[in-house]
Structure formats: structure tokens, C-alpha cells
Structure 1
Amino acid sequence: MTSSILTAALFMVALGTALAIILAIANKKLFVREDPRIDEVDEMLPQAQCGACGEPGCRPFAEAVVAGRKNPSDCTVNTPEGNAQIAEYLGVDMKPKEKVVARLACAGGTHVAYTRAKYEGMKSCQAAATVAGGGKGCSWGCLGLADCAEVCDFDAIFMDEHGLPIVVEDKCTACNDCVVVCPKDLFSLHPVSHKLFVACKSLAEGDDALAECEVACTGCEKCAVDAPPGLIEIKNNLAVINYELYDQIDVDRTPIERCPTGAIVWIDSKLGTTRSSVGKEAQRSHRNEPLPLG
């Protein structure tokens, strides 16, 4: 009995030793030395771990930059000076990169959009959306409970007096968190050159849309008629901009001028948001008080 136990023990020791030797040899043969520049680049990054660059974090981004798969300018959180420092360290050129920001496809705050049911519960858009859509008359409208502002790590979103999220473009890094968290899919990412924008997602027909929100798109087609051919199409009662064509032609503010509700807007990073004069009147009608329930 003792002899059997001793034999088994010696066998296990021998097996362990053999495996250790094999692993040591394999480690030596397969070892890949990491480029020391990765550590240096990683230290120059903001360590926001936001994923705005398309990588899961700053370390993977540093690896991609050193490997040449990414350019330092792809980090939208770092300062221009910080990215220039990385480019200089690696001896690469900084590729020009247009700023991308989050945009909200809704202008229906409490002053212009009706609430048909009062929601009481966890202060969260996602929670409210599971309860009959949140209680807002417009099924597509912003619920105003600030999930987007809460999830933004860069203080780039705040709620205005009417319960609408406002994106601070200078702070926005296009990290995509607000896009993911919004249960109504109202946020999308756009380069700042996309100044023409439809601030609505309602698919209700004209009068039905207006019954719930004064600034809803009614699908009247005026913007589509006034825009360059093919730029704007009415789909399911909603104006939709073809941004592929937009990037190929000169676009001005003409399509917004006859919009009866101001649903289609012109967004300038420095001058702010412009609507048609008619649309402005619609937004002023209940500026200082929320619309009643029902």
C-alpha cells in the first residue's frame, strides 16, 4: 500500500516537472516583447476609458496608435496639445478630424408637449419607458428624466427648465453613452458640419402629431421641396435627411424657413440653434408654464 502511494506521488512530481519545463520552453519560444512606446503613449492619454475612439479603453487605443491602426487625433477626449504630443513622440502626422457631437431628435419640452399620464416611480427614462411608454402624449418624445445627463462622464449634457437635455458641444466627446442609454433612441452622433437637423422622431400624422406637441414634424414636405433634390425625404410622416448626399453638396438654411413648427433646425456650434420664425412662435406659446395633463 505504501509502495503504491509513493509511486503515485513520484509520478505526479515527475509529471509536474515535465509540464513546467514544457511551459517554460513554450513561454520562451512564444513570448512577444511589447513595444515600450505603448506605455509612454498610454500615459499621455486622458484615461477616460470612454470608448469614443472606437477602442475599449485608453490602453488598447495606445496599442492601436503605436501599431498605426489609429491616429492620435482619434482620441476626442484628449486635448489637441496632448494628441500633438503623442504624434510628435511617435513621429506621425496628425490627421485632421472633424468634431463629432451628440444631437437630440426632440424639442418637445413641457412647454410645448403634452403629458397624458403622470409617472411616479424611479426617476429614470428607462424605468418610465417600461410603464406604458412613460406617460408623454408623443410616444416618440423625450421623457426628460435625465438618464443621458446622468450617464455622461464629461458634464456635456444638462437638463433645461422644460425638461429637455441640452448638449454642450464643446464638452461632448461623442462617447456614445447617451445614444445607448436613451430608451427612445433620440440621440445620434453627427459631425458639426451637419448643421441641418430634424429635431423630431414622431411618426404620427400631421394633426395627430400637433395634438401632442406643438413643435412636431407634420410631414408637410415644405422642407423637402425647398431643399436640393434628394436631400430630404418624407418617410412615415417624418422628414429624413440624406447625410450621404449632404456631404457632397452645399447646404444652406433654406429648408428650415417654411417649416410651420420649427421641427427642422439649423445648428451652428457658435451661434446656436435657428428655427423658422413660425417655429419660434410655436415654441413661445407656452414658454413659461408646463402644459397640463390630459
Structure 2
Amino acid sequence: MFTAIMVIIVLGGIGAVFGLILAYANKKFAMEVNPLIHEVEDILPKGQCGACGYAGCAAYAEAVVENPDVAPNLCVPGKDAVAKLVAEITGKAAEKVEPRIAHVRCKGTIDKATLSYSYEGVKDCKAASLVQGGPKGCKHGCLGFGTCVSVCPFGAMTMGENGLPIVNKEKCTGCRKCEESCPKNVIQMIGINSHVKVDCNSKDKGAIARKLCTAACIGCGLCAKNCSYGAIEIKNNLAVVNTQICVEKCSEATCLAKCPTGAIKIAN
């Protein structure tokens, strides 16, 4: 009994001594944190999306305060409002941030797109894409297992009954988490002022693309021919819109009229 009591006393004494040493070391070597870092962090959206290029809001707050070369407008979800506040706190100049939203470049719904086989594996797009490129006939299209939905930190995406993700334009911040998670590169960020968008990602030639999906762009070039400003090109059998030309010069989307599959549509 006496031995047990002595062991407890000795261990307690050792613990107390080490506690005092750690407390002294913490006070002696503690580094003062610039209070501006906390001010910046407090106004950030806290989505921890990494769109700024840093590992979370705290890391960006520290970088933008301590490093004069880090711009105050890197928080994409925060848009201009947050950029201006960060600029005021840090004494930097903030360039205007163009708001962006996610665009799902696929309209290959379950009733329009063919399947190559029945997939019974893990319901994850990245996992499914490892099996012969996924079950969808078009190897460029959305696989529909909702990986993009699961990674969105702002709850801006849901899965529709038609097998494709739906973007909530009010909640989407353009943080790019969904874009980075898509193994097929189906999701793309577009400016909220974009006039038209191409709802397809297929690189297959027209006849093949149409066979695999009735909503596919077949690369016919009619949209490009009907654009008066040269804002549309056909690259790899797919229509590609130059958003800058489209927004600056076009006031009427004449390119939509002749599209045989409806793959090009009004955006936003």
C-alpha cells in the first residue's frame, strides 16, 4: 500500500514539474500572431475549399497578411465583397473578381444516353471510371454518381432524377471543388455573364456522338457559321465558345437557331 502511494506521489510530482516546464517554454517561445490575420479569417466564407490556392481559410489569411505578393482577391467564393474587405485590412489593391458558377457540360440523361454495361460497383464517379471508363456509352459524359455533389462545401449541387447533377446558381460560389473532382472533366467554371454554353463534352465524331447520346454536340459547325463575331470554333469535334468575344460583342444568340441537337443553349 505504501509503495503504491509513493508511486502515485512520484508520478504526480514528475507530471507537475513537466507541466511547469512546458508552461514556461510556451510563454518564453510563444510567437505573437498578427491580429490582422484573425480579422481577415473572420470575414472569409469558411468553406475551406482551397480555391485561393492555400490549404484553407486560415492559411490564406496568414499569407495575404504576411506576404505582400499575395493578392487580396483570391477568395473566389467571397467574390468582390470579401476582396474589398481583405484589401482594406491589408492595405492592398484588389482587382475586380469575375463571379463564376459551375456548368455541367453534359445533357446525357438516362433517357438520352446509352450504357455500355451495367455497373454494380462503388457509387463514385472516380471508382466507376476505372472500369472501362465507366458504364456510359459516351466516354466523355457525366457518369452520374454524384462525386461532385459530395465534395461541394456550399451545398450548391444535388443529383437530379435524370442522372445528372443540378447546380443551384444562388449557392454556387465557383470554388472549383466539383470541377476538380470530376474524372471526366465534365464540369467547367463559366462567368455569370456568359451568354451561351455548350452542354456537351464529347470529342467523338458526329455520327458516333449522336449514336451514343441524342443530346450530343455532333461538331457540325452550324453554330459557328451562324455566329456573326467568330466567337465559336469547332475543336476536337466539339463546339467551343470564346466567352469574352461572346459577352463583349453579341447581343442576340443567333448561334442557337440551327443546332440540330440543342447542345448549345442560353447560359445563366
**Is TM (by shorter chain) over 0.5?**
yes
Matching of residues 50-61 of structure 1 within 5 Å: 50-61=49-60
SS, match of residue 132 in structure 1: coil
| Alpha-carbon offset, residue 78 of structure 1 | 4.1
CA distance in 1, matches of 2:238, 2:95: 37
Match of 2:6 in 1: none
With 199-208 and 216-225 compared, the bigger mean Cα shift is at 199-208
Match of 1:41 in 2: 40
Which residue type is aligned with residue 242 of structure 1? N
CA distance in 2, matches of 1:106, 1:120: 22
Q: How many residues align?
A: 240
Match of 1:187 in 2: 187
Q: Tell me, yes or no, if the aligned pair for 2:136 and 2:143 is still in contact at 8 Å.
A: yes
1:215 maps onto 2:215 in alignment: yes
Which residue type is aligned with residue 48 of structure 1? G
Deviations 1:259-284 (A, max 9, x none): 1111011112xxxxxxxxxxxxxxxx
| Alpha-carbon offset, residue 196 of structure 1 | 1.4
| Alpha-carbon offset, residue 32 of structure 1 | 9.1
With 206-215 and 68-77 compared, the bigger mean Cα shift is at 68-77
TM-score, normalised by the number of residues in structure 1: 0.72
With 216-225 and 46-55 compared, the bigger mean Cα shift is at 46-55
With 98-107 and 45-54 compared, the bigger mean Cα shift is at 45-54
CA distance in 2, matches of 1:247, 1:64: 34
| Alpha-carbon offset, residue 89 of structure 1 | 4.5
Which residue type is aligned with residue 45 of structure 2? P
Which residue type is aligned with residue 119 of structure 1? Y
Q: Tell me, yes or no, if the aligned pair for 2:195 and 2:247 is still in contact at 8 Å.
A: no
CA distance in 1, matches of 2:245, 2:167: 25
1:127 maps onto 2:127 in alignment: yes
Match of 1:154 in 2: 154
Which residue type is aligned with residue 42 of structure 1? E
Q: CA RMSD in A?
A: 2.8
Q: Tell me, yes or no, if the aligned pair for 1:140 and 1:184 is still in contact at 8 Å.
A: yes
Match of 2:257 in 1: 257
Identical-residue share of aligned pairs (%): 40
Match of 1:239 in 2: 239
Alignment gaps of 5+ in structure 2: 1-28
Match of 1:103 in 2: 103
Distance of aligned partners of 1:175 and 1:45 in 2 relative to their CA distance in 1, 3 Å threshold: same
Distance of aligned partners of 1:85 and 1:164 in 2 relative to their CA distance in 1, 3 Å threshold: same
